[in-house]
Amino acid sequence: MINKNIVIAGIRISFWTNHPADIKCLEDVFLYHLDNNNMPFDAKDWHDVIIMSGLEKLQISTVSPLIWTGHINQNIPVNWYNQTYQEDNIITIADDVLIRHFSKKRLTICYLAEKKTQFFKSHRPLLTNYIFFLLQSVLSMYGKYCLHASCVSKNGQAFLFTGKSGEGKTTISAILGNAGFEYMGDDLVFISQNEKKEITIDAFLTKIKLQRSASKAKDTIDVIKDKHFKYTYQSKLGAIIHLQRTEVGKTSMLIPAKQSESFTWIINSGNNMTIQYRQQLWMNICELASIAPSFTLMFGDKDFFEPAIFDTIMK
């Protein structure tokens, strides 16, 4: 088996596979998280993920209770089953992937149903179809929780942007990256609590999709390499900003928000609580994070947006 190590949110994850396509996916998706001894910090925890292919039909024990069902990538069904012990779980993705988490052993095994096709070729699920769901479930074992949010940092403070798809998370991270802020992610980041009970944000550095000005099509851009964005892997939470598009006027407006509002934003940006490991810790992190200064950004015309709007909330 080939081994590829990545470090995300201070956790070293070792992927083991004998399929070249998996390695290509890992190198592309986790380009800035490959464990090449250039990380600014040492990983305190480690986890092994073994990816195995098999021709047998994937099955689970009928005594395993179903605790959550949903979808990933909008249309791929997921079922989460709880085993005898609370921290040993089984996940099925469609009829193709079965994931077994052994959290106490720091081990995850992914079984892929490899099916024979014409001319003696075989078909197996693409790692790209489930890699983010797999990553999120592994990191929650270590108190690192994924948020559907974008983030930038300045002066050691992380500005966390929440909001529904299409409200401007990628756009705002690109605007602020061009303005000299440190890029931390345009779609996924991780939130956790450090030893000092401070809320920290860990980056997920990847390529982003930005709309071309001349059309509605989007280009995939490596903003770190192509646009020379500054970036950082971790920063303390400074403020939470909820994005809301407005068609009224060209300028944007920053409106102070209540703690109850920011708590709701974080909860809604995270995974379903039922499938989080250490659920009470997740709730504690959300409550502590909601104490941070919080605002609604009525996001107007991006061409008229002034990054200086955040000067007043920087400590």
SS3 70: strand
26-63 burial, b for 16+ CB within 10 Å, e for fewer? beebbebbeeeeebeeebeeebbbebebeeeebeeeee
Helices (H), 18-81: 20-29
Q: Are strands 11-17 and 2-8 parallel, antiparallel or unpaired?
A: antiparallel
**Can you say whether the dihedral through the CA atoms of 33, 34, 40, 44 is positive or negative?**
positive
Single pTM value for the model: 0.91
For CATH 3.40.50, the residue range(s) in the chain are 146-313
Q: What is the pLDDT of residues 49-63, one digit of tens each?
A: 999 887 555 566 656
Instruction: For the domain covering 146-313, report its CATH number.
Output: 3.40.50
Using CA atoms, how far apart are residues 107 and 94, in angstroms rounded to an integer?
22
Angstrom CA distances, 201 to 60, 164, 189, 212, 262, stand at 36, 19, 7, 29, 15
Q: Which two tokens stand for residue 83?
A: 């085993």
Q: What is the pLDDT of residues 31-51, one digit of tens each?
A: 999 987 566 667 778 999 999
SS3 142: helix
User: What one-letter code names the amino acid at 117?
Assistant: T
Neighbours of 162 (CB within 10 A): 22
pLDDT per residue rounded down to tens, the chain (315 residues): 899 999 999 999 999 999 888 999 999 999 999 987 566 667 778 999 999 887 555 566 656 788 889 988 878 999 988 765 556 788 989 888 999 998 889 999 999 888 766 655 567 888 888 999 999 999 999 999 999 999 999 999 999 999 998 899 999 999 999 999 999 999 999 999 999 999 999 999 998 877 655 555 678 889 999 999 999 999 999 999 999 998 777 889 999 999 999 999 999 999 877 788 888 999 999 999 999 999 999 998 888 899 999 988 875
Using CA atoms, how far apart are residues 156 and 158, in angstroms rounded to an integer?
7
Nearest CA to 161 out of 148, 170, 149, 145 is that of 149
